[in-house]
Amino acid sequence: MSTLLLKFKAPLQSWGSESRFRVRHTGRLPTKSGVIGLCASALGRSREESVEDLVTLRFGVRIDQPGTVIRDFQTARAEGDKNATIINRYFLQDACFVVGLEGEKQVIDELHNALRSPERPLFLGRRSCPINTDFLLKIHDCDVEEALRLEEWHASPWYRKQQPTQLSLQLFRDAKSGEIADRIRDVPVSFSQEERIYSWRTVTECPSVQVANEDGVKDDYWTTVIRL
């Protein structure tokens, strides 16, 4: 097995979770449907083509820098209508994630090549969120959880200076049989604009990844006591 790692670190990201009508929410971390859609774009697939082979890849995310949620809005008015509709859109600002896709080596190599020279533009959830140029990391010959544990921490320098000298990074992945897990409806069955269909998957939160932060804020005596 092989795992391809990607770094998502653009100024804005938006991972649709429960977007409805005039309110377009964002999740706090990348969705499997969003990442599969990005990969399908890199491969040059249309919305009507199958993504069944991509859906079978095991998926994981490590949160290196959680970012903050911001709101933007736009007004829309139908022709002949005097009343404007306000559409609220939510985004993640200054977030950084490491995403892993695990599968057979041949599939992962093909996907790596496609992402290196994508057939279509790539976005982090929405077209208003172009991907960072250094998103492509490397391939590990291990499962997705181990790969996410081995990868270096990619947080921004300014963020590191605001954090303690030891951090715990949250790590989520597709659950294995028998594990305690949550259910999320973000597995794409069809991206067709006529009828988008999503199915469920189970997700588990793994033990946190511990990282040392040389640029971090050293605790004073009382903060150290409280942490103990």
What pLDDT was estimated at residue 74?
A: 77
What's the CA gap between 118 and 115, in Å, rounded? 5
Cβ atoms within 10 Å of 46's Cβ, excluding its own: 10
Digit-coded pLDDT (tens) for 186-206:
998 888 887 888 899 999 999
Cβ 22 vs Cβ 76: under 8 Å: no
Query: What average pLDDT does the segment 46-69 reach?
Result: 96
DSSP-assigned letter for residue 143: -
Query: Mean pLDDT over all residues of the chain?
Result: 92
Q: Containing H/E element for 148?
A: helix 144-150
CATH number of the domain at 223, please.
3.30.70.2660
- 225, pLDDT greater than 60: no
Nearest to 103 by CA among 3, 33, 202: 3
What pLDDT was estimated at residue 190?
A: 86
Amino acid at residue number 37:
G
Number of domains within the chain: 1
- 78, pLDDT greater than 80: no
Classify residue 161 by burial, with Cβ atoms within 10 Å: 0-12, 13-18, 19+: exposed
Q: Which two tokens stand for residue 25?
A: 């929410």
Confidence of residue 227 (pLDDT cuts 50, 70, 90): low
Confidence of residue 25 (pLDDT cuts 50, 70, 90): confident
Confidence of residue 76 (pLDDT cuts 50, 70, 90): confident
What pLDDT was estimated at residue 126?
A: 92
What pLDDT was estimated at residue 223?
A: 63
What pLDDT was estimated at residue 221?
A: 53
CA 59-140-175 angle, 5° bins: 25
For residue 34, give the 3-state DSSP assignment: helix
Digit-coded pLDDT (tens) for 127-177:
999 999 999 999 999 999 999 999 999 999 999 999 999 999 999 999 999
Digit-coded pLDDT (tens) for 85-124:
888 889 999 999 999 999 999 999 999 999 999 999 999 9
- 17, pLDDT greater than 80: no
Domain of residue 96, residue span: 2-227
Q: Which two tokens stand for residue 162?
A: 């605001």
Cβ 42 vs Cβ 120: under 8 Å: yes
In whole angstroms, how large is the CA radius of gyration of the chain? 19
What pLDDT was estimated at residue 90?
A: 92
What are the strands of the beta sheet with 136-140, ordered from one edge?
Answer: 136-140, 2-8, 96-103, 58-65, 166-174, 197-212, 182-190
159 forms beta bridges with none
What's the CA gap between 53 and 114, in Å, rounded? 15
Full-model pTM: 0.90
- 58, pLDDT greater than 80: yes
Percent of the chain with pLDDT over 70: 91
